[in-house]
Amino acid sequence: SGVPDEDALKELVAAELLAARDRSLGLTTGSLSRPELVEQVSPLMSPLVWDLAHVGNYEELWLLRAAAGITPMRPEIDSLYDAFEHPRAERPTLPLLSPDDARAYIAQVRTKVLDSLERVSFDSGNRLMSGGFVYGMVLQHEHQHDETMLATHQLRKGEPALLDRAPSDLPVSLVPAAEALVPAGPFVMGASDDPWAYDNERPGHVVDLPAYYIDTEPVTNADYQRFIEDGGYDERRWWTDAGWDWRNASGKRAPAFWTREGSSWVRRRFGRVETVPPNEAVQHVCWYEADAYARWAGKRLPTEAEWEKAARHDPEKDRSRRFPWGDSWGEGRANLGQRFLHPTEAGTYASGASAYGVRKLIGDVWEWTSSDFHGYPGFESFPYKEYSEVFFGPDYKVLRGGSWATHPLAVRGTFRNWDYPIRRQIFSGFRCARSL
């Protein structure tokens, strides 16, 4: 813990805080009118102005009060932005800060954070500060809310507010086989020594798995269309009891945002209607749909451990990597960070393959796994129960790997996301696995 390391880390933190804020502001300005920031586009989502002020309030709680011991700036607003006091559905009825007041508040918080950053110590004896943990936590939190705001943008009606890039000219090299064989054996799941890892990723522990096959690419729109055309939504045997109940109650017969046009499918994406691109990973499917598709395909969803071994285990060195391709973030190896507003086509990001030749484990779409969200053996809540522990149990399914909307700082091979099995507004897709 030499001083130069700490200075370099603080510089990185300051730069990343700025970049995260640019992103948050970009999602709450531009062609969005004031009412659109304040209104709720769906009971599943917060008004965008809630996310914005919540990000600043969380930053005040953790980086000013907890890390720097600074007295509360606006204690009276804490409860408005407490996600547990007010579920998303009721947030538009609260006396929230106006868009201008929210921007002013989060800017004031940020000024004090950058000020105090110079004075705090990333002392390894203080768990909250060690390795800059709490700064990493707040950075990841802002990016997580930015992804949530993108889901809100996708749900909103009206004129497009976000610009997508021109179609990607990324090199395409198709993967030689549709499945990879992962031989039986142990690997280390989770992390004990990743300084910014969340409590639910800890501790690292050995998991021994029987051999299995796992898809080398996520399931594409063309694959999923075959399931639809084959009557997959009407065939009881592909669905679990709960999945069939969902199918009956929801009336859904295709991924969210899809509509049939003649013999083809179109999708609405950020306010524009376009033909569903056959070679992109399917997204906006719920866990029940992913699970039914896998059964139709003669396969199953991977467990969380299977997903992670395929993503991280290096069989030559018998160790687990931080990312599929190695230990450090590599530009151009994954579709992350809102570079595009969509998944890329199959065959891209060959350089992001894991040791087993499995592609796109990081980026493109969050991948549903068959696993419920639980703490690992020896789990210890840190620094607060409401980040993950209160969600443990059978109600939530784990998703892995991040989507095109996830920032590189907010995902890695050990990162665990979770949601209800009925949710489809998130950027969720899947790949299949099967036992030998």
Question: Which spans of this chain sit near ligand AVJ (rule: CB under 6 A)?
Answer: 141, 144-145, 148, 387, 417-418
Q: How far is the CB of 83 from ligand AVJ (least distance, A)?
A: 6
Residue type, 1: S
- Measured distance CA(61)–CA(386) in Å, rounded: 14
The residue (of 358 and 399) whose beta carbon lies closer to ligand AVJ is: 399
For the chain, what's the residue count? Answer: 436
The residue (of 258 and 366) whose beta carbon lies closer to ligand AVJ is: 366
The residue (of 4 and 84) whose beta carbon lies closer to ligand AVJ is: 84
* SS3 (DSSP) at 175: coil
List residues bridging with 209 in a β-sheet: 185
Q: How far is the CB of 198 from ligand AVJ (least distance, A)?
A: 8
| Backbone torsions φ then ψ of 205, nearest 5 degrees | -155, 155
Binding residues for Fe cation: 54, 141, 145
CB nearest ligand AVJ: which residue? 144
Binding residues: 54, 88-91, 141, 145, 419, 423
**What's the maximum distance between 2 C-alpha atoms anywhere in the chain?**
65
DSSP alpha helix (H) spans, 251-379: 287-296, 304-312
Residue whose token pair is 């694959």: 223
Residue whose token pair is 């000024």: 111
Q: How far is the CB of 387 from ligand AVJ (least distance, A)?
A: 6
Tell me the DSSP string of 284-317.
Answer: S--HHHHHHHHHHTT-BPPPHHHHHHHHHEETTT
Q: How far is the CB of 18 from ligand AVJ (least distance, A)?
A: 20
> How far, CA to CA in Å, does 411 sit from each of 185, 197, 201, 240, 337?
25, 9, 11, 30, 10
The residue (of 57 and 335) whose beta carbon lies closer to ligand AVJ is: 57
* SS3 (DSSP) at 127: coil
Task: Choose among 260, 282, 285: nearest CA to 273.
Answer: 260
The residue (of 24 and 216) whose beta carbon lies closer to ligand AVJ is: 24
The residue (of 145 and 309) whose beta carbon lies closer to ligand AVJ is: 145
Q: How far is the CB of 74 from ligand AVJ (least distance, A)?
A: 19
Binding residues for gamma-L-glutamyl-L-cysteine: 88-91, 419, 423
Task: Choose among 266, 259, 255: nearest CA to 430.
Answer: 255
Residue whose token pair is 């910014």: 196
Q: How far is the CB of 414 from ligand AVJ (least distance, A)?
A: 13
